[in-house]
Structure 1
Amino acid sequence: MENVIIALDFENEARVISFLDQFSEPLFVKVGMELYYQTGSSIIKTIKQRGHRIFLDLKCHDIPNTVEKTMRGLAKLDVDLVNCHASGGKRMMEAALRGLEAGKVGDDRPLLIAVTQLTSTSQEEMNHDQQIPGSLQESVVHYAQLTKEAGLDGVVCSPLESVMIHEACGDSFLTITPGVRLSDSKQDDQKRVTTPADAKQLGSNFIVVGRPITEAQNPVEAYRSIVKEFKK
């Protein structure tokens, strides 16, 4: 199974099944808020029965007690990767980890990562809208270090930030990177983007790709092309 995660940003289960039916190989897919909030946890069971791994991308962000109980429930779904917002703070992230440990199915808990800064966020937006001074890179590295201190497995970040995160947190600390586009693809609403080959060169452990695959004329061909480029 490859380290290219396909973002299943569809609005219903029928479209998910239609998309997955095109593939013969096991996939690593992302179920985000758009899909999960329309279908509930039944979509997780449907995808798991087909032999695919799941990144459940709900970006939990609340008081520690709420996040801990939420993660305990999500762990029982037997997903492979979940996340929260690093901006929730160290105590919240530690609580998230406790919840996953308490609710895990079998010996292994899902991997837990934290969102640093969304790849749609610009320097100006971070400084003005969030009132966070300094550079975007400084903020991302700070959140990554805080995430590691909390005991999590890695972070969501732009591929452009993978190098500095691995330098600050070590090679075993995972970087899961959206904001990946083929050189001839539209940038859409992403701001900090690279190609799959560049993401690999920069140290991304996993890349998350949505529309360049799901909206391609031939999704299977597009997926395999991105996998091939990322593995170079």
Structure 2
Amino acid sequence: MTPLIVALDFPDAPSALALADRLDPQQCRVKVGKELFTRAGPAVVENLQARGFQVFLDLKFHDIPATVAGACRAAAELGVWMLNVHASGGRAMLEAAREAVSVSAAPPLLIAVTVLTSLDAADLEEIGCHSKPAEQVRRLAALSAETGLAGVVCSAQEAGQLRQELPALLRVTPGIRPAGFARDDQRRVLTPAAALAQGADYLVIGRPITAAPDPGAVVAAIVADMAAASVR
């Protein structure tokens, strides 16, 4: 299986499933986010799994510990491959989430969002965080490691440092743009090959694939490029 995760950021299940039908589950996993899950519910996850896809449920839970634990338990019962919470929810919340999924028959990978890739230093300053993005990512990644999570969501630009400092943590990186594609609303971006070289373990890519005339061909090209980069 490749490290590619395709973000199915669609407003409804028919659109998401139509795109999934143009992809090979042996070449990528898929991500279901807030809009799609809110409209389509667990059924869309089950339909994707029936098509052979492993699903990353990207709901970024962030609430009091008991509420997050219950949500993570429900997600684990869906059989998802990966799910996430916000590391900024704090130690007690992260520990409750970890304990909730650990009792599942097939525990999903539980990862924590550090700093959204749409945020830069000015954005953090505006919300009262006086650390630079890289410093805040390192702080929250360390907390995630201490509380026993499997990995973190970070930009590829921080992945290399985390690989050195916290090598046991998986690094899931959104904000990936193949060469020649628009940055859209992402601030901290790298190409797939560059992200892997920096230390990313999994790459999340959305619009460059989902908005393409031939999504399957774009996936195949990205997979080939990553394979070629790994042997250089």
TM-score bracket for this pair, using the shorter chain length:
over 0.9
CA distance in 2 between counterparts of 1:92 and 1:143 reads: 13
Q: Percent identity?
A: 39
**Correspondence for 2:160:** 163
The structure-2 alpha-carbon separation of the partners of 1:25 and 1:115, relative to structure 1 and needing over 3 Å to count, comes to closer
Partner SS, residue 167 of structure 1: helix
Of residues 122, 129, 133, the one that matches 2:130 is 133
Shift of 1:23: 2.7
CA distance in 1 between counterparts of 2:39 and 2:116 reads: 23
Segment drifting more, 178-187 vs 15-24: 15-24
**Correspondence for 2:119:** 121
**Correspondence for 2:181:** 185
Structure 2, gaps ≥5 residues long: none
**Correspondence for 2:102:** 101
CA distance in 1 between counterparts of 2:46 and 2:172 reads: 23
Amino acid at match of 1:216: A
CA distance in 2 between counterparts of 1:154 and 1:11 reads: 28
**8 A Cα contact 2:24 2:216, kept in partner:** no
Q: Could you state the TM-score of these two structures normalised by the residue count of structure 2?
A: 0.95
Shift of 1:134: 2.6
Q: Could you state the TM-score of these two structures normalised by the residue count of structure 1?
A: 0.95
**How many pairs were matched up?**
227
CA distance in 1 between counterparts of 2:117 and 2:202 reads: 15
CA distance in 2 between counterparts of 1:24 and 1:153 reads: 26
**8 A Cα contact 1:199 1:230, kept in partner:** no
Q: Does 1:219 align with 2:220?
A: no
Q: Does 1:154 align with 2:151?
A: yes
The structure-2 alpha-carbon separation of the partners of 1:182 and 1:74, relative to structure 1 and needing over 3 Å to count, comes to same
**Correspondence for 1:39:** 40
Amino acid at match of 2:207: R
**Correspondence for 1:195:** 191
Shift of 1:25: 4.1
**Correspondence for 1:11:** 11
Amino acid at match of 2:115: Q
Once superposed, what is the RMSD of the aligned Cα atoms? 1.0
**8 A Cα contact 1:197 1:229, kept in partner:** yes
Partner SS, residue 175 of structure 1: strand
Amino acid at match of 2:217: E
Task: Summarize deviations over 1:99-140 as a string: whole Å, max 9, x none.
Answer: 1123x2x3x300000000000001111012x21113211110
**8 A Cα contact 1:177 1:207, kept in partner:** yes
1:1-80 alignment runs, 5 A limit: 1-26=1-26, 27-80=28-81
CA distance in 2 between counterparts of 1:212 and 1:144 reads: 28
- List 4+ stretches of structure 1 deviating above 6 A: none
Partner SS, residue 145 of structure 2: helix
Structure 1, gaps ≥5 residues long: none
CA distance in 1 between counterparts of 2:20 and 2:82 reads: 19
Shift of 1:16: 1.7
Amino acid at match of 1:226: I
Segment drifting more, 28-37 vs 218-227: 218-227
CA distance in 2 between counterparts of 1:161 and 1:226 reads: 21
Amino acid at match of 2:177: R
**Correspondence for 1:175:** 171
Amino acid at match of 2:11: E
